[in-house]
Amino acid sequence: MPVTLKELAARANVHPSTISRVANNDPGLRIATGTRARIEALLRETGYQPNGIARGLKMRQTNVLAVVIPDVTNPFFAALFRGVEDAAAPRGFNVLLCNTDGLPERQRSHLQSLQARRVDGVIIASSFLKDPSVRDLRRQQGPYVLVNRFSDEGEDPFVGSDDLLGGQLATAHLIELGHTRVGHLAGKSTVSTGMLRRRGYLAAHTAAGLAADPDLIVEAGYTEESGSAAARRLFSLPEPPTAVFAVTDMVAIGAADVARQMGLRVPEDLAIIGYNDIPLASRVSPGLTTMHVPIHEFGSVAARLLLDQIESDEPTRRRVRFTPDLIVRESTVAGARSQRSARPRASAE
């Protein structure tokens, strides 16, 4: 059992409050040099650490953040989490990690548990467009930040990429390569990234004067497996596409696997572009062309937004959106040397 203020007070023959003030380096503290020395020696000797629970109760602050994501096994979310922790740890915060597997119910129960625990803030990267959990979050008026996906009309503090533009740039890249039948392995229309990247896909067609064939849009979810399943359907069409834009890199990788299995050469028979530029994207073969977004920064910026709210004690409505950046690799251009076109830029509202 760790040592408490009361015990130290008994040993130093002073009142617990005196120890507390010395330990916390209370600025306006007037104390005899002898007493101070005695107490400081005792503190060092015992290695006293204030009980964070008791302190949290009194101070109404736990110094704990929480990150709610679908699955940390997905490299995108792992990198996101690192961003959060790297920003939070130096400021004395620890971070809880909650995986939802994309289930609204698990998300709800996690958020409820986090509320009971009185975490100081929540970063949530698994929200839906219509999300009761997010509405609860708004109502509770604890600080929170949405990352990657936003919710409703986007009235919440948010960090992510410009998905509409990203979807458009990705699709435009394929069209510029001469493809006229471009498929889309889409995200769920109940998720902002899915909806916007799909809209970008359509906008690119319009801009190029092309008609988008609705049959070429297949909802694929976000995992590699669901990407494979959707790709199988897409590639089995009577008139299959010669290029596809996948809503995420994992989906693209699942699709590439299926393409290989079906005897399609990438990029000769089928060009594939993903989204996010996860580390894996540059390692698969052929290297995956994708839209780069600064994943680690998503996390660190979100954490800073949160910490600023906590420290200033006033909510924010800031929305940070990074401009995604086309990375051309071999999955769309044979023999491409992968390179970034520019550094990502952020726009804040």
Partner DNA sequence: TGCCGATGAACAAACGATTGCGCTAGCCTA
Partner DNA sequence: TAGGCTAGCGCAATCGTTTGTTCATCGGCA
Sites of contact with DNA (CB under 7 A): 1-2, 4-6, 13-18, 20-21, 23-24, 26, 30-32, 34-36, 48, 50-51, 54-55, 57-60
85 part of the interface to a copy of itself, by CB under 8 A: yes
Identify whether the C-beta of residue 11 lies closer than 8 Å to the C-beta of residue 42.
yes
The single residue among 17, 24, 46, 73 that binds a copy of itself, judged by CB under 8 A, is 73
24 part of the interface to a copy of itself, by CB under 8 A: no
230 part of the interface to a copy of itself, by CB under 8 A: no
DSSP for 250-301 reads HHHHHHHHHHHHTT--TTTT-EEE-SB--GGGGTSSSPPBEEE--HHHHHHH
Among the listed residues 347, 349, 302, the one whose alpha carbon sits nearest the alpha carbon of residue 165:
347
189 part of the interface to a copy of itself, by CB under 8 A: no
The CA distance from 13 to 196, in Å, is: 67
Q: 44 or 60, CB closer to DNA? A: 60
| Residue 274 C-beta: closest distance to a copy of itself, Å | 14
51 part of the interface to a copy of itself, by CB under 8 A: yes
Residues 152, 156, 162: CA angle, nearest 5 degrees: 75
| Residue 60 C-beta: closest distance to a copy of itself, Å | 9
CA 246 from chain centre, in angstroms, equals 19
| Residue 121 C-beta: closest distance to DNA, Å | 18
Identify whether the C-beta of residue 273 lies closer than 8 Å to the C-beta of residue 242.
no
The CA distance from 306 to 319, in Å, is: 12
223 part of the interface to a copy of itself, by CB under 8 A: no
| Residue 313 C-beta: closest distance to DNA, Å | 14
Q: Is the peptide bond before 143 cis (omega within 30 degrees of 0)?
A: no
| Residue 67 C-beta: closest distance to DNA, Å | 25
How far apart, in Å, do the first and last CA atoms of the chain sit?
A: 50
99 part of the interface to a copy of itself, by CB under 8 A: yes
Binding site for a copy of itself (CB under 8 A): 2, 49-54, 56-57, 62-64, 66, 71-73, 75, 78-79, 81-82, 85, 89, 92, 94-99, 110, 112-118, 140, 253, 279-280, 283-285
